[in-house]
Amino acid sequence: MNGIRLRPSKLRETPVRGMVVRFAFGAVVSVAAGLVGLRWGPVAGGVFLAFPAIMAATLTLIEEEEHRRDPAAQDARGAVLGATGMVAFAACVWALATLLPAWLVLVVATVAWAVVAGLLYLGFGPRHGR
């Protein structure tokens, strides 16, 4: 079973162009979410930020770097699970922002993201869906 691993040495293997693409997509999606928030309110902006921020960068990298179907499917599955966790984060911020101090809201929302994404990973991670 493949577990979650942190390998900082892999950063040296990532081309600079790939990093630039990731950050550019992240910035564009963040600006778009901000514009949506200005037009339709912070709730709509937050929801926009939760899904596309992870998906755009991840799917771009998958298309560019992965040519085999199975690894690309696993990466896309992981992106969806992480993005779903971000919805839990956004929901916590929306529900608690006026009730608790900002630092506590961020802690609770981060824990909610980690729990939701982690549970989804355990239920639908790489060993599933093959």
Task: Give the per-residue pLDDT at 115.
Answer: 92
Residue pLDDT, tens place only, 18-49: 677 767 776 777 788 888 888 888 877 777 77
Between CA 61 and CA 71 the distance in angstroms is 12
Of the pLDDT bands very low, low, confident and very high (cuts 50, 70, 90), residue 71 is: low
> What's the Cα-to-Cα distance from 115 to each of 53, 84, 108, 112, 121, rounded to whole Å?
19, 11, 10, 5, 10
Task: Give the per-residue pLDDT at 96.
Answer: 92
The DSSP code for 102 is H
Is the confidence at residue 112, as pLDDT, over 90? yes
Task: Give the per-residue pLDDT at 48.
Answer: 72
78 compared with 125, residue with greater pLDDT: 78
Task: Give the per-residue pLDDT at 1.
Answer: 47
Average pLDDT over residues 97-108: 92
Please state, rounded to an integer, the average pLDDT across all residues of the chain: 76
